[in-house]
Each structure stands twice: as C-alpha cells, then as structure tokens.
Structure 1
Amino acid sequence: MIQIEQYNSLFNIYIYILLVIPVVIISLLGKKSKILNLAISVVMLSLLFRLESIQMREVCVFLICELLLIYIYFLIRKKTDSKWIYYLILLISILPLAIVKFSAHGKFADVIGFVGISYISFKIWELIIQIYDGRIERMKFIDTLGFLIFAPPFSSGPIMRYDLFIEESSKSIDRKEYFYDYLVPGIKKIILGAFYKFSIAFIINEYILSRYTELSAKGAIAYFYAYTLYLFFDFAGYSLMAVGTSYLMGIKMIDNFNKPFLARNIKEFWERWHISLSTWFNDFLFSRFVLRNMRNGRFKDTKKAARWGYVVTMMTMGIWHGLYLHYILYGLYHGIWLVLTDKWLKTKTFRKVKKMKYYNLISRLITFHIVAFGMLIFSGFLISI
C-alpha cells in the first residue's frame, strides 16, 4: 500500500495554504460557504491521491459504499432499534479496515487500502453509533460528506467529532472573530508544527535514529529517548499543521497534544497524548464496555469493570495500529499500567506522597520513562534485538 503524507514537505504545506486562500478571503469579508470548503477538500484529496490513481478510485468506491450504508441504517433506525441490525451494520462498516489491517501488505490491502482509511473509519463508526443512540435526528448530505472528507486531517488525524464539525461549519463568524480566533492562531499552529516536524524531528531522525540501522542492546538507551521525542515532534508537528489548516478553513479542531511529557501518571498521559484518539476510544469503547458489563451483571464492582475496560481498550488500540506482536504488546503494556495507576491513585500512600515537595518533578520523570519504554515496544526495537 503506497504511503503518502499530507504534510511531508514544506512545498505541500505551501500548496495547501494557497488552496485555502479563497476561504480566508470570504471569511475576512464575514462570509462562510460549506460548498467552498467541500470543494477545497475535494481538490486537496485529488492532490493527495492523484485523480487517475487506483487509490483515488478506491477512496471514491469506499465513500459511496459507506455513505449508502450510513443512510440505509439512518432510515432503518427510524423504524427499529434492533441491536442485531445495528451490530450487522457496524460489522459491515468495520470489515474494510479489518481486512487492510489483518492482511498487512498483502493483496487485499493493496486492493482496498488507501491512506486515511483508519481515520475516516472512525468517523463512519461514530455516525453509526450516534444514529443507533438516537443522537442524530437529521442528516444533510452536504454536512455528512463534508464531515467524512474534510481534508486537513484526512490521512493521520486528529479525529474530528461530528457534532463539533456541524457546529463549526454552520455557525457564522464575523471578520474580526475570524482574524483573531481562526486566522492568526491557525498560522501560528502551522508554523509551530512545521518547526516541530522539519526541524526538531528531522534532526533527531537524521543524527540519532539513522545511526541505529543495525539494532543492538548497546544502542537501546539512545534509541529509548530519541524515538520517544522523535515520535512526539513528528506526530505533534503533523497534527498542529492539520489543525492550523482547519482553522484557516473556519473549522476549529481540538489540539491533539497537550504537553504529554508533563503528565504525572499514565492516566494523565492519555489525557494529553493523541487526545482525539484517546477520547474517541473512551467515549465509544471504554465507557460502553463498563456500562454494558455493569448492566448485564458481569461485574458488580465498577472499579473491576473499569480496570478490565482499560485493558480491553488499550489492546484494541494496539491492534488498530496493526496485527503485529509489538503493537499488541504495546496495548497490553499500557492497559496494565492504567490498571496499576488506577489502583495507586486510590491508595492512602498516594494521598500522602502527592503532598511532598518534589512530587510533581519525580512523578513526571517516572511517567516519562514508563511512556518511553512503551514507545520502545511500539517501535518494534525490542523484538528486533
């Protein structure tokens, strides 16, 4: 499967900024257009995949099929709340991504896989789940299509939520608000993101990570720190540029990272790292797992249900990255640490320790090293030694 990044060069960013200039102009005039945003997203995706490419055809076929599935279920849900129909529709929507992930780089992945299938799938699942819950009473085609193909975060997130997208794309913004709350912050985010990705991440990769082409235990410590920092600056840089471009298009998205290495424990880390993904899993998997298993009597203790929920959620997140041993171990590793953290935060010892003078410093150092070891697992470094 060919991998194409949206923000992998300064030239691409320059092209994206040129494309959003019409939105900037009409926004500075106090106007807004869903059609223009949709058209720009189509152009951006055409540049990402190239109109004549096989991947572009794959994207179009995938979108048509999934839109049909969503609207068919929307009509069915008005007549019945059958769980079996809901599960069947959800399963059908999951199948394309499951085939891509489980077949890795095999022939099936080449046939239906394309860049961004993971993140657009999260949007599709959210719509189906929200329809089942009865939270979506009306679905305008232009809103649904605009939500699914909104281009700035298409290939690697952040994951935008449907209600936020509808709110942002529908509300009117006067020129002053756009300038100070969208244009200026958007440009700042793009500049900072470019600095993260093309300066800091590049230096780490070029002068540290690239030296460890033959992995050995000797280089593990350097790799331990370098890979963790590289992953943050590369991904946070990408996310900032995607969010900044969204701002220029008059759509505010949540920041995907919030100083994650200042977290004082693993639970707090996941509130700061890849926020859009962790909140999606929390809302649509963890919370539902806990609630359902409490209702059916499988767990009588909320704490026990929550702790099992941590493991299931993180294992699922690990498998979502790919059906490889190091991803599965990464998910299990974080699931176990979330359980241990949950237990620790409820002890009397913790209540005493957190009042100590150097608690914040020590807890942040410990958490960083726990996270960094997890990144080492995620990289596959330990398996390849």
Structure 2
Amino acid sequence: MTPYGSFTFFFILVILLAPTVILGLRGRRFHAYNMFVTVIALGIIFASSLQQAVALIGFTIWQVSLIKSYIHYRKKRNSDLVFYLAVVLSILPLAMSKLLPYFSTITFIGFLGISYLTFKGTQLVMETRDGLIKEDLPITRLLYFILFFPTISSGPIDRYRRFVKDLDAQISGEQYKLYLYEGINKIFRGFLYKYIIGYSINYYVISKLKFIAHSPLEHHLYYMYAYSLYLFFDFAGYSAFAIGVSYVMGIKSPENFNKPFISRNIKDFWNRWHMSLSFWFRDYVYMRFIFWMTKKKWIKNRNTLSNLGYILLFLLMGIWHGLEAQYIIYGLYHALLMVAYNAFERFNKKHKWWPQNKFTHALSVFMTFHFICFGFYIFSGQLFHKGV
C-alpha cells in the first residue's frame, strides 16, 4: 500500500494513532507505542510485495550493522580509508538498486524508500566520523529513526540528533494540543495541495493539452508551466502529509518546501525546494568536497572550487533520479545556473550593476520562476518526446 495514496491508508492511520492522541492529550509518553505503530504500518505498506519486504529487512540489517560497527571502530581509530569504505558500503545497496535494472533483470535489491533510508544511514556514518556522534546508539532508537514510517517513501530527511531531541522531550498535554493542531492542519493542507489543486492541474490541464493547445509550441509551453505547478503541489502535498503525521506522533520532521516559486535567484530556490534533500546534498556532498579539496590544496581558487562543487552536487543529484538523459541534463542545467549566478554575484558585488529595490526583486522572482519551470520541463522528459 502506497503511503498517503488512498483514503484507506488515512483510515488505517486514524485507528493506529488514536491511542497516541489519547496518551498525548493526557501528557503521557507515547514513543514506545509509536515504535509499535511503525512496525505495523511498515507491515501494511509492504504487505503487497514480499520481495520489497525482504529487501527492506536485509537493507536494515546491513545498514544498522555497518553503523554500529563504524561507531565502535571510531572510538579507537580514525582511518580515512575505513571511513571511505564505510560510506561506500552504506551507499552500495542504493547504487545497486539504481544501476542494476539498466544492465540486468535483477530487481530484488530495491524497495520503496531505499533512497531516503540510505541518506539517513550515510549521514550517521559521516557524523560519527566528525565526532558529532560518540556514544553507541541504542538499537531501538536507531531502528526507529531509520524506519520512521511517516517519511519512509519520500522524506523529508531528518537528522538523528534533531530526531532524538524530540524523542527525549517531555510533552505536556497542553503542548501536545499544539502538536496535534499543527499536524492536523498540515494533513488538511496536504489534501488541498495533492488531491484538489494537484489533481485538478493534472486532470483538467495536463491530460487535456491536446484539446487546449493549438500548436506544438503552445503544447510545450502549457505543459512546462502546468507540470511545474503540478510537481510542486503533488510533492508538497505528500510532504505535508508526512510532516503532519510526524507531528501527531510527537516528532517535528523538518519542512520540505517554503514558497519555492517566489525565489529571487537559483540559490534561493534550492533553499526553498525539497529543502531536506538539498540541505543533505549541501552538507554531505558539497561542503565535504570543498573541505577535502581545500585540505589537499589541489585547487586554490575559491570560485573555481565552488563551481566544481556545484557541478558535482547537481550531477550526483541528477544521477540519483536515474541514468536517463533528462535527469542528467537536469542536474547539469542547475549546475550551470548556479555557476552563472556565482559569476553574476561576483560581478555585481564589484560593479553594483543590479540594485536592490522592489522592481529588481520582482523582476528577479519573475526570471527565476521561468528558469525553474524550464528545468522541470527538462526533468519531465517531455523535451525528448517526439510527435508532441
């Protein structure tokens, strides 16, 4: 059963989380029960596919064993080689699930949510290396963090230390009322975004473009803008569901969207769009690349180094979506935008060519919106379809 994909799923959630709500309103602790709910919910989600269920169990054993082993190792030693090996082994199941279908018929490795579970596991290895995680992690907390069911399929990607703070927080009945109110509000926003606005755009515009558009150019333009809006409302709706259910369970999962279509430049956009993913790539790919290259002193020019970091970051993000041409080109397109904006920032800082006022702000938002929409048009693959 797909999370948040049917009203049946929400009906099951109401039944499963009713005791959580009762305990929360009474100021009682409910995380032990929520761990039990997570097991039941995962069983329901993966009940229709034994292959995916087995893959999830195998992946979890692999990831937890790796994390626990590296934490134990890190207490005594700190070899670069062992760290790199641990990161590679953490990412290996995801890489195999992404790459093997292109070269063979093997599909038993992948399962719903493998990407986001991998991001969590790799994050723990990296933070252990940095000394942010020093103590051995209780197995129940580690499993609960990795397998937290509200965010399993598409995030948001939480951070372990932030997650644990919520687990340890003492929530009174009055405080839980605020959690519950916020959670229900987000869930209803999810229904508005995904099942009303997103559905309407898809049904009344995208699926009927052949009747609306009167030329190939109109078809491409209408599709570009409609798809961009649909993608936002569908994904933001899902995120609202995931975050809302998390709040009901006493966990404040991070926000994933912050009005991305009013971004004033491409950097601002990536601080607003799919934030948990973009921040993950920023912290664990871009920043580490910059630090590593600076330490090695292979590239001394900061601007060149920053631009190479952007190319690496967005190329990996594109490949993460898939090896199809549209995903790789989408990644390179955003890398190009970031490099170009970097150059523009340096030029404007020196020459003060672009003043800061209401008019230039509005124009920046207008221009950025169109660049973003064209990027989503590339991402959709429609650019590569013939006979449109």
| C-alpha distance in structure 2 between counterparts of 1:106 and 1:13, whole Å | 38
2:334 maps to 1:331: no
Q: Residue 13 of structure 2 aligns to which amino acid in structure 1?
A: Y
> Separation in 2 of the partners of 1:105 and 1:340?
33
Alignment of 1:159 onto 2:160: no
Counterpart-to-counterpart distance in 1, 2:329 and 2:309? 16
1:141 and 2:139 correspond? yes
So what's the TM-score if we normalise by structure 2? 0.94
Residue 13 of structure 1 and its aligned partner are, at CA, apart by 2.0
Please say if residues 93 and 109 of structure 2, whose CA atoms lie closer than 8 Å, have aligned partners that are also in contact.
yes
Moved more, 244-253 or 29-38: 29-38
Secondary structure, counterpart of 1:98 in structure 2:
helix
- Residue number in structure 1 paired with 2:87: 90
Q: Partners of 1:309 and 1:109 in 2: how far apart?
A: 33
Contact kept in structure 1, 2:101 and 2:107, CA below 8 Å: no
SS of alignment partner, residue 158 of structure 2:
coil
SS of residue matched to 1:190: helix
C-alpha contact (below 8 Å) 1:17/1:245 kept by paired residues: no
Partner letter of residue 201 of structure 2?
I
Given that 1:104 and 1:323 are in contact with CA atoms closer than 8 Å, whether structure 2 keeps it comes out as no
Query: Is the alpha carbon distance of 1:338 and 1:203 closer, same or farther for their aligned partners in structure 2, counting shifts above 3 Å?
Result: same
Code of the aligned partner of 1:326: Q
SS state at 2:108 partner: helix
1:38 aligns with 2:38: no
1:380 equivalent in structure 2: 381
Q: CA deviation at 1:81?
A: 0.5
Question: Who is 2:342 aligned against?
Answer: 342
Counterparts in 2 of 1:111-122, with a 5 A limit?
A: 111-122=108-119
CA contact (8 A) 1:258 1:273 kept: yes
Residue 197 of structure 2 aligns to a residue whose secondary structure is: helix
Measured after TM superposition, the shift of residue 88 of structure 1 is 1.2
Distance in 2, matches of 1:141 and 1:177, equals 28
5 Å-filtered alignment, 1:258-297, equals: 258-297=258-297
The aligned counterpart of 2:372 is: 371
Runs ≥4 in structure 1, deviation > 6 angstroms? Answer: none
Task: Supply the distance in 2 between the matched residues of 1:51 and 1:39 (Cα, whole angstroms).
Answer: 20
Unaligned runs of 5+ in 1: none
Q: Counterpart of 2:233?
A: 233
Comparing 286-295 and 184-193, the one that deviates more: 286-295
Q: Does 1:222 align with 2:219?
A: no
Q: Distance in 2 between the 1:28 and 1:10 partners?
A: 25
Cα distance in 1, alignment partners of residues 43 and 217 from structure 2: 44
Amino acid in the other structure paired with 1:285:
V
In structure 2, the residue matched to 1:72 is: 69
Distance 2:131 2:105 in 1: 35
How do residues 197-212 of structure 1 correspond to structure 2 at under 5 angstroms? 197-211=194-208
1:66, distance to aligned residue in structure 2 (A):
1.4
Gaps of 5+ in 2: none
One-letter identity of the residue aligned with 2:117:
I
Q: CA shift at 1:312, angstroms?
A: 0.7
Q: SS at 2:151's partner residue?
A: coil
Amino acid at match of 1:377: I
Whole-angstrom distance in 2 between the partners of 1:260 and 1:118: 23
Residue 156 of structure 1, CA deviation: 0.7
- SS of 2:101's partner is coil
What corresponds to 1:53 in structure 2?
A: 50
Letter in 1 for 2:144: G
The alignment partner of 2:146 has SS state of helix
What's the offset of the Cα at 1:123? 0.3
Residue 173 of structure 1 is matched in structure 2 by: 171
What is the alpha-carbon root mean square deviation over aligned residues? 1.9
- The answer to whether the 8 A contact 1:264-1:364 is kept is yes
CA change 1:351–1:7 in 2 (3 A) is farther
1:62 is aligned to 2:59: yes
1:183 aligns with 2:184: no
Per the alignment, do residues 29 and 314 of structure 1 end up closer, same or farther by CA in structure 2, a change over 3 Å counting?
A: same
Deviation at 1:297, TM superposition (A): 1.0
Residue in 2 that maps onto 1:320: 320
Deviations 1:208-237 (A, max 9, x none): 222358995551011010000000000000
Identity of aligned residues (%): 39
Range moving further from structure 2, 135-144 or 368-377? 135-144
How far apart are residue 289 of structure 1 and its match?
0.7
Residues 100 and 108, structure 1, Cα contact 8 Å, conserved in 2: no
Write the distance in 1 (CA, Å) between the matches of 2:256 and 2:128: 26
On the 8 A contact 1:290/1:302 being kept in 2, the answer is: no
* Residue of structure 1 equivalent to 2:3: 6
Instruction: Give the Cα–Cα distance (whole angstroms) in 2 for the partners of residues 78 and 190 of structure 1.
Output: 42
Name the counterpart of 2:356. 355
Q: CA deviation at 1:14?
A: 2.6
What is the CA distance between 1:79 and its match in structure 2?
1.9
SS in 2 for 1:112: coil
